């Protein structure tokens, strides 16, 4: 009888090891199948340009890049109106950015008048406005308005300061 008990004991000990090995193998096989399916899905999506590899349909708003043609003007040296009695000077370089190409051809025809208008507009500004960084856009808008008085129809332009020194 002692021999039979040993056999039974051996069978009981052998079964849990085989079940653990089988459970571990099934788990590994399932994980490998999931990895292969994920890779196959990603490869399919990549090559067909679908799902998360799909090209942008333009539904999202993108920043519009405006191509401008630049027309640089000479530097200006301007006496500023200062109430304190001391003389202040402004040296400014300006470039006109034309949004429409047809406008760039119209600028040389009235370049002298444009320069005069810019000088007059800048001289009208007080020292506080000219020296304030926050007021650059206001000055640029006034220059654009004064230039557009010279043209019919108005030019589609932007003003860029290429040099700006107050002394």
Half-sphere exposure of 158 (CA within 13 A, CB side): 13
- Residues 131 and 134: their CA atoms lie apart, in Å, by 9
Query: Which residue has better confidence, 113 or 133?
Result: 113
Residue 112 sits in the same domain as residue 162: yes
Residue 112 sits in the same domain as residue 157: yes
- Tell if the pTM clears 0.75, that is, is over it: no
126's CB contacts (< 8 A; 6+ apart) are 81, 83
For Cα atoms 47, 52, 57, give the angle at the middle one, nearest 5 degrees: 95
25 domain-assigned: yes
Average pLDDT of span 141-159: 91
Residue 73 sits in the same domain as residue 39: no
Asked if pLDDT for residue 38 goes beyond 70, the answer is yes
* Domain around 30: 2-53
64 domain-assigned: no
61 domain-assigned: no
Q: Is the peptide bond before 153 cis (omega within 30 degrees of 0)?
A: yes
We report the CATH number of the domain holding residue 130 as 3.30.479
Query: Which residue has better confidence, 133 or 63?
Result: 133
| pLDDT value, residue 7 | 52
Asked if pLDDT for residue 138 goes beyond 50, the answer is yes
Could you tell me which residues are beta bridge partners of residue 81?
Answer: 126
Q: Which pair of tokens denotes residue 162? A: 């290429």
Q: Tell me the Ramachandran region of residue 32: left when phi exceeds 0, alpha when psi lies from -120 to 50, beta otherwise.
A: alpha
User: How many helical (H) and strand (E) elements, i.e. helices and strands, does the chain have?
Assistant: 5, 4
Asked if pLDDT for residue 55 goes beyond 60, the answer is yes
Residue 145 sits in the same domain as residue 121: yes
DSSP 8-state assignment for residue 152: S
Give the total number of structural domains in the chain: 2
- Residues 122 and 49: their CA atoms lie apart, in Å, by 56
59 domain-assigned: no
| pLDDT value, residue 13 | 47
Could you tell me which residues are beta bridge partners of residue 28?
Answer: none
């Amino acid at each position: 009888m002692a021999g039979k008990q040993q056999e039974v004991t051996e069978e009981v000990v052998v079964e849990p090891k085989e079940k653990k090995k089988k459970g571990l193998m099934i788990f590994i096989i399932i994980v490998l199948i999931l990895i292969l399916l994920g890779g196959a899905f990603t490869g399919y999506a990549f090559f067909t340009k679908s799902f998360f590899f799909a090209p942008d349909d333009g539904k999202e708003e993108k920043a519009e890049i405006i191509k401008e043609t630049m027309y640089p003007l000479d530097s200006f040296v301007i006496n500023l109106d200062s109430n304190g009695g001391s003389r202040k000077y402004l040296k400014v370089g300006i470039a006109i950015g034309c949004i429409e190409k047809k406008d760039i051809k119209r600028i040389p025809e009235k370049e002298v008048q444009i320069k005069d208008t810019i000088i007059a507009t800048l001289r009208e500004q007080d020292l506080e406005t000219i020296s304030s960084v926050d007021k650059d856009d206001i000055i640029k808008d006034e220059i654009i308005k004064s230039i557009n008085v010279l043209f019919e129809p108005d030019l589609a332009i932007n003003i860029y300061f290429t040099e700006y020194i107050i002394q």
